Amino acid sequence: MPMLSTDYAHSMQLSPEWLNQADHLHLGIHIHSEGLMIGLFEVHSKQPIWLMDAPHLSHNIAQTLQQGQWVQPFFRKVSISFSAESWTVIPQSFFQPDQLSAWIEETSNSQLGYQNLQQESNVLIHRHSKDIEHIAALYPQAQVNCAIKMWLQLNTTLAHTNVLSAWIEADKLCIELIQNHQRILLNQFEAKSVEDVLYFISATLQQNTTSSDTEIVLMGQD
């Protein structure tokens, strides 16, 4: 059973117990607009052994990680995921690396990026906080991915026949509908309540005449 941190959750201080084992552990960090989540995993079994949630830490994350000694030890593996402020998916044939702003508006506090979707001829373009680059720079060995990319790769058209998948996080609801191994809908909505989430999921099911065997998968927070 993984342990949820209580002694160190407030101060964000890495426990000496895990500090001494860092070269045998996988450090996972997820950053979203409302906070930070950290997990430690056994490298070989891939099982979580320690979890921490700091839901109200949304500023100075890089500094907090340094002060908490999360940077000093060399972890065997580091994975960083982040939630995008905005995103879209386009066909590879339309993609040009120097034309990202044609698809998503740039802002002064954010940065545009892109990632290829595996097993697809599509590209994910996203806008994210500039802090992501500062945090990633603390871990040269890290694998850095937009969380939406990871979500989409879990729900490929090859793996699913009929499924509605919903990712819920920080007042955002992302819906992907797959029917007969084809992506019918992929969109993001503002969802500030449970009622909003139910409304958009129900509307998607009704407007696309889904079958009774359509699976509904919920992921994310809250």
* Residue 182 one-letter amino acid: Q
Most confident of 17-31, 34-48, 92-106, 159-173: 92-106
> In Å, what is the CA distance from 111 to each residue of 101, 130, 138, 191?
10, 6, 18, 24
Contact (CB, 8 A) for 32 and 85: no
CA 36/CA 57 separation, integer angstroms: 6
Per-residue model confidence as pLDDT tens digits over 30-66: 998 878 889 999 998 889 988 888 776 767 888 888 8
What are the pLDDT digits (tens) for 123-133? 999 999 888 98
Phi, psi of 60 (to 5 degrees): 55, 40
The dihedrals phi and psi of 80, each to the nearest 5 degrees, come to: -120, 125
Q: Does pLDDT of 182 surpass 60?
A: yes
pLDDT beyond 80 at 22: yes
Q: Which residues pair with 162 in a beta bridge?
A: 179
When mean pLDDT is compared across 15-24, 140-149, 174-183, the lowest value belongs to: 15-24
Q: Residue 125's closest CA among 153, 97, 150?
A: 97
CB contact set of 94 (below 8 Å; sequence gap of 6+): none
